[in-house]
Structure 1
Amino acid sequence: MSQADNYQAGPAQGARIEPQGDDWVLVVERRLKHAPEKVWRAITDPEQLRQWAPFDADRNLAQTGAARLSTVGTPEPHVTETQIKRAQAPTLLELSWGDNDMRWQLDALDDGGTLLTLWHSIGRDYIAMGAAGWHICFDVLGRYLDDDPLGRLVGSDAMPHGWPRLHEEYSAQFEAMRNEDS
């Protein structure tokens, strides 16, 4: 039995949507017990990304310029030409992933940990799906950083670990947020 067999995602929390023109941006926050330098390596190093992220990278993302990201857990791999726009170790990473922009911010916490914030521009119809997916990816990232790895859980592999429930919970939360903004 693997570590992942016993893993179930907790309740939907730590995500919100922000209006951006006619669309929305998904914002996901997660507190991690590790220093920004360690988290930075986990979000930029291709070997570490393979442990938790929904994509593989053809190079280290810690430098600006072109890169290729390949989706994982999809029926057909989708390779995207990506542009790393800003890479300011260990606090800020901005990139385009296909038509979506992503911004990763790492803020040092007083307890030595990191507040990881991800802004991900994503189509309105997919924003709750994205939140559910990132929720599980960030759980896996936290366990990986704690040296208690679950192994990557993306695509269909995430389904038995609470993804459908998270999708429903985030859909309801985001609908309430949209109604508040109306």
Structure 2
Amino acid sequence: MSQREDYDPGPAAGADVHKDGDKWTLVVVRELRHPPEKVWQAITEPAHLREWAPFDADRSLGAIGTVKLSTVGAPTAHVSETQVKRAEAPKLLEYTWGDNDMRWELEPLESGGTRLTLWHNIDRGFISMGAAGWHICLDVLDRFLAGQPVGRLVGADALKFGGWQRLNAEYARQFGIEPPSWPPKPAS
């Protein structure tokens, strides 16, 4: 059995929604068994991002300035010019991705691991989908860092993956919203 066939995401957990008027922020907290320096490299370096993230970067996210992010697995290629606003290794990373603000905070744990907190401003209609997607991405990240890669699981590959549909529904229930159907049903 391959690493991917062996992968089954656990139940929806570790995510919350902060609402400020019409602005919704998904907050995902995950404890990883790897030190902040190793996690920092994984969330900033293009070669590492290709193993788990929903986008590719044309340079390191570890320095302030412009970077191009290319969404992976989207029906059409989507490249956005991104501004890295803060990059304080190995603690804090802030940038925009499209119209969304992203903030990654890494806190060292006594165990030698890292508490990763991700804040992602996301459209209300996609909040449970975003939570399901980040859940899987962070699982894949953790396995990659542990030397047990399952391969990137994003976009259409994630949608076909049974665990994503379940997570989308579970997060929608936790957030008290109607789960969006994906792909969208055509208007009749």
Per the alignment, residue 175 of structure 1 pairs with 176
Paired amino acid for 1:174: F
* SS state at 1:31 partner: strand
Structure 2: runs of 5 or more not aligned? 178-188
Percent identity, aligned pairs only?
62
State the partner residue of 1:86: 86
Please report the TM-score for the alignment, with normalisation by the length of structure 2. 0.91
Q: Deviations over 1:128-155 (max 9, x none)?
A: 0000000000000000000000000001
* CA–CA distance in structure 1, aligned partners of residues 140 and 129 of structure 2: 17
Q: CA deviation at 1:161?
A: 4.3
The equivalent residue for 2:8 is: 8
Query: 5+ unaligned residues in a row in structure 1: which ranges?
Result: 177-182
1:1-182 correspondence runs (5 A): 1-158=1-158, 159-175=160-176
Structure 1 stretches of 4+ with a deviation exceeding 6 A read none
Q: Where does residue 180 of structure 1 map in the other structure?
A: none
CA distance in 1, matches of 2:79, 2:22: 27
TM-score w.r.t. the length of structure 1 is 0.94
CA distance in 2, matches of 1:36, 1:20: 30
Number of equivalences: 176
> Whole-Å Cα distance in 2 between the matches of residues 151 and 108 of structure 1?
26
Q: Which moved more, 1:17-26 or 1:31-40?
A: 17-26
More divergent stretch after superposition (78-87 vs 6-15): 6-15
Tell me how far 1:2 sits from its aligned partner: 2.8
